[in-house]
Structure 1
Amino acid sequence: MSLTAAYLNTAAQAVTLLGTPEVAASWEKTSALEGMTVGGLAGHLAYQVFSVTPVLQEPTSQEAPIPLLEHYARAAWIGAPLDGEVNAGIRAKGEDIASEGAQVLLERARAALAEQMVALPTVRSSSVVFMPQTGWALSLDDFLVTRTMELAVHMDDLAVSVGIAAPALSATAFDPVLTLLVRLAARRHGQAALLRALARAERAPSAINAL
């Protein structure tokens, strides 16, 4: 399975989660993420799908793509305070996307996914995706890894928020997500800390978070 197929499979799981009655019933309640309602979190999850649609509409960028780990090294939201401008903006955007309610968001997400299911497999894997919100470009494969990771993390957030089990990723989707998170954790905490967390409980650090 390609990274395109892995992303599409994970996006389909996210759309299914958005359609669960538990999400709609908890729309106005506080989510597991501080400062976000369940609806706002659902909007942020759906955004990960919506953000792929421009790939279908625009020719490949002429920008030189940067490496995936460099993308996260430059990301303003990593390490930013919860009440800072960047994270406040992320929360506000999620709430805005969800402002018309659970059913409208679900219909929009289903429509976006249906379009992507047909068109995305025809986009060359060598394509380059320029991201105007960051000002730099990634290869299509790396961009889809970022979307798949975001979907995986926020599906868990949303499922926990409404008291249901998070969807299990396919092995082909989980592997690149795991690789990305492990590399980010190693860069943040060091190789020794990561090795100890995975193999030496008696010497494991108190935190090994990637993000």
Structure 2
Amino acid sequence: MPPAKKRTRSYDSAKIRAAVLAQFGNVREAVVGLTAEQLALPTALGDWTVRELVSHLAMAVESVNRTIELSAELSTQQPAPTPVLPLLRWPFVTADLAPDISRDVKEVAASASPDELFERTAGRIAALLPATPDDRMITTRVGAMRLGDFLVTRTIELIVHTDDLNQAVAGLGVPYDRQALAACTRLLADALAVKAPGASTEVRIPPYAVVQCVEGPRHTRGTPPNVVETDPLTWIRLATGRTTWREALDAAHVSASGERADLGGLLPLMR
């Protein structure tokens, strides 16, 4: 994948911070009521149980705490790391981390109950995040990033895995924070435009995102000849491999018109 050339969308810092905390809170509230039987249920994520999935959700936010603490330690020893990972590159560099993440998840899930993990993480982020600016350079698993950019990636982790949790536990119904869902949708839509640059196809994900992509004749006025439209959760499932293009079409969860409107060969964007 070549370096991203698309101009990065700007995100409102206060809204992103509030969204991450709100979605984390939504999951935490649901996790408190899970029974031992529910925690032992399987998920669609390989051999992960619900217990391991909710541990990963806690880890997605705990990683913010760890990177903030590490950046504070490094700032007293050496210059801040050079930013090497633009936000729009993040969706394309996470797949290789899966084995390490799975190992860490299993260790964390075995070390403490979900309630303990969420309580500890909530207390730490409440103390660390307000005092740390968005332009603080942090070291993540995939390289140096701005804290503000890393927080946007947390909306993907939280929304995608909240959906996984809702799919695994019937009737759980963890709500999706609107701002977190919007940021997740937009970043994954922009990632599609990076992967397939062009302006022949318009992808609409109301009410959050519209992007143009795919090489071909550029459309400038009137109704675009190639249009794809879907809802945010279907888009997120397509972009992360939770459902396939054909499944979404057959279920009428996505509409596609025009000879360049078939996105099946471009999806998923990340796994």
TM-score, normalised to structure 1's length?
0.80
Residue identity in the other structure for 1:44: H
- The structural deviation recorded for 1:28 is 2.2
Determine if the alignment matches structure 1 residue 146 to structure 2 residue 175. no
Bigger proportion of residues as strand: 2
The aligned counterpart of 1:83 is none
**Following superposition of structure 1 onto structure 2, how do residues 198-209 of structure 1 map, counting pairs within 5 Å?**
198=229, 201-203=256-258, 204-205=261-262, 207=264, 208-209=267-268
How far apart are the structure 2 equivalents of 1:115 and 1:71?
25
1:116 equivalent to 2:147? Answer: no
1:140, distance to aligned residue in structure 2 (A): 0.9
Q: Give the secondary-structure state (helix, strand or coil) at the position aligned to 2:144.
A: strand
Query: Does the alignment pair 1:35 with 2:35?
Result: no
Q: Post-superposition shift, 1:162?
A: 0.7
Q: Which residue of 108, 116, 121 corresponds with 1:107?
A: 116
| Structure 2 segments unaligned to the other structure (5+ residues) | 1-13, 204-226, 231-254
* 1:122-157 deviation per Cα after TM superposition (whole angstroms, max 9, x unaligned): 2112211111x32x2111110001112101100110
Q: What is the count of residue pairs matched by the alignment?
A: 197
Q: Call closer, same or farther: CA 1:2–1:76 in 2, change over 3 Å.
A: closer
Q: Check whether the contact 1:185–1:209 (CA below 8 A) recurs between aligned residues.
A: no
Larger Rg: 2
Determine if contact 2:27/2:174 at 8 Å carries over to the other structure: no
Aligned residue in 1 for 2:100: 89
Change in Cα spacing, 1:194 to 1:96, as seen in structure 2 (3 Å) is farther
Partner of residue 25 from structure 1, selected from 27, 32, 37: 37
CA contact (8 A) 2:43 2:50 kept: yes
Q: Distance in 1 between matches of 2:183 and 2:190?
A: 11
Match of 1:210 in 2: 269
Question: What SS class does the counterpart of residue 198 from structure 1 fall into?
Answer: strand
The corresponding residue for 2:138 is 129
Give the secondary-structure state (helix, strand or coil) at the position aligned to 2:257.
Answer: helix
Two-structure CA RMSD over aligned residues (Å): 2.5
- Partner of residue 62, structure 2: 50
Instruction: Using the TM superposition, give the Cα deviation of residue 206 of structure 1 relative to its aligned residue in structure 2, in angstroms.
Output: 5.7
Which shows bigger deviation, 9-18 or 176-185?
A: 9-18
Secondary structure at the aligned position of 2:39 is classed as coil
Structure 2: distance between partners of 1:193 and 1:99: 47
Deviation string, structure 1 residues 97-122 (Cα, Å, up to 9, x no partner): 11146xx2221221211221233112
* Cα distance in 1 for residues equivalent to 2:263 and 2:186: 21
Contact 2:68 2:138 in 1 (8 A): no
Unpaired runs of 5+ residues, structure 1, are 81-85
Cα distance in 2, alignment partners of residues 35 and 69 from structure 1: 30
> Distance in 2 between the 1:159 and 1:115 partners?
26
Which protein has the bigger helix share?
1
Which shows bigger deviation, 52-61 or 154-163? 52-61
In 2, Cα distance between equivalents of 1:166 and 1:138: 29
Structure with the bigger RCO (C-alpha within 8 Å, sep 6+) is 1
TM-score (normalizing by structure 2): 0.64
